[in-house]
Amino acid sequence: MPVSCTTNCGRKAILRRPKTGTSLCKECFFDAFETEVHHTITSGKLFFPGQVVAIGASGGKDSTVLAYVMKFLNDKYDYKLNLMLLSIDEGITGYRDDSLNTVKENKNDYQLPLKILSYQDLYGWTMDRVVEEVGKKNNCTFCGVFRRQALERGAVMMGASCIATGHNADDIAETVLMNIMRGDVARLGRCCAAITSSDGALPRVKPLKFCYEKEIVMYAYFRKLKYFSTECVYAPNAYRGHARNFLKELERIRPSVIMDIIHSGENLVFQTGIKTPQQGTCSSCGHVSSQELCQACTLLLSLNEGKAKQGVSKKSHKIRST
Ligand code: SF4
């Protein structure tokens, strides 16, 4: 027998929310999802009127939903934000070239300006060539460091004062677990924040921080959003994969575990006096760095000198892609 929507709207429920277990019709699910993102934005004071926001757009489900919902809420609540899409082309044949086509469709559908920056133009290397050089073990370290800086550079070029990313609740809970397993206290202390910033770098903002991945997929499906769902051909990232599998196992037993882990991460109290690195600027590219050479320039140098394969394993305990 069909179940009624639990909001008493009179419609039949067509889904059960993974986050709350409530049965909802499509319209009430949209409303609940969008209202929660709106609440994350307003309660966390994530943006201010007139702000230029670069939305990191990969063409995947998270960033597609982020772009759609940000545009929708900006219109509905008159946030007065100037939204733009920013995509990074890592140079991964058969993956990024296809996903960028999806971003270009989103640009037209949502009527948002789009900027695409490539690793080839910024660094003189594509990820295809990096993988040829370093193999498939440490490639994500290069890719993550390069992307982080590329987003920063692109956002500055666009005149943006922050970068909105599609990190969802599952990503954040995984990161909490990973930082605990690595003993990375500095990252543990900041990974749950909806806005993260370091001196001189643009703030990174996570409006989907409390959205479950399963609900993002549902939202994209019922809204009929166009996104690219193929995984990167170079996606080993074994450590995050273990944290993800562990989290999925826990979620099967107790769906609230994702929110519980984020809540725990937010409420951890850290010893005072833990030294954090002093921020300066990279002597080579001028971007924010706590070392004389930033991570991107260090990795680039090792590639250009043909030492990337030997160098990264020694450095990888310091340079992490996540
Ligand atoms: Fe880059 Fe690794 Fe992600 Fe592929 S899986 S896009 S190589 S970080």
* Residue ranges per structural domain of the chain: 40-279
Nearest CA to ligand 1 atom 5: 235
Q: Which residues are annotated as a binding site?
A: 56-58, 62, 88, 166, 171
Q: What's the whole-model pTM score? A: 0.90
Reported as type and span, the H/E element at residue 56 is strand 52-56
9 Cβ inside 6 Å of ligand 1: no
Contact criterion met (CB below 8 Å) for 49 and 79: yes
Which of 127, 131, 136, 167 has most ligand 1 atoms within 8 Å of CB, for mutation? Answer: 127
138 Cβ inside 6 Å of ligand 1: no
144 Cβ inside 6 Å of ligand 1: yes
Contact criterion met (CB below 8 Å) for 240 and 174: yes
Measured from the CA of 232, which atom of ligand 1 is nearest?
4
pLDDT of residue 322: 38
Distance CA 227, CA 106 (A): 9
E strands in 61-197: 82-89, 114-118, 162-164, 195-196
Question: Across residues 213-226, what is the average pLDDT?
Answer: 97
Distance CA 295, CA 298 (A): 5
Quick check: 321 pLDDT over 50?
no
Over the stretch 58-73, which tens digit does the pLDDT of each residue have?
A: 999 999 999 999 999 9
φ/ψ (deg, to 5) at 266: -70, -30
Residue with more model confidence, 201 or 48: 48
pLDDT of residue 318: 47
Nearest CA to 261 out of 247, 279, 271 is that of: 247
Residue 300 Cα, ligand 1 centroid: separation in angstroms?
A: 17
pLDDT of residue 262: 96
What is the 8-class DSSP label of residue 292?
A: S
Q: Which residues are annotated as a binding site for ATP?
A: 56-58, 62, 88, 166, 171
Residue 271 Cα, ligand 1 centroid: separation in angstroms?
A: 34
Distance CA 109, CA 114 (A): 12
Quick check: 279 pLDDT over 80?
no
> In terms of C-beta distances under 8 Å and separation of at least 24 residues, what long-range contacts does 34-39 make, across chains too?
34/69, 34/72, 34/73, 34/76, 36/210, 36/211, 37/69, 37/73, 37/207, 37/208, 37/211, 38/73, 38/77
Tokens of 315: 């450095």
Superfamily of domain 40-279: HUPs (3.40.50.620)
Average pLDDT, the chain: 91
Distance CA 296, CA 294 (A): 6
Quick check: 240 pLDDT over 90?
no
Residue with more model confidence, 32 or 306: 32
Quick check: 148 pLDDT over 70?
yes
Distance CA 217, CA 228 (A): 12
Q: Rounded to the nearest 10 degrees, how much is the dihedral formed by the CA atoms of 195, 164, 90, 156?
A: -90
237 Cβ inside 6 Å of ligand 1: yes
Distance CA 40, CA 166 (A): 13
Nearest CA to 300 out of 150, 151, 199, 87 is that of: 150
- The residue whose two tokens read 């490539």 is 118
pLDDT of residue 275: 66
Nearest CA to ligand 1 atom 6: 232
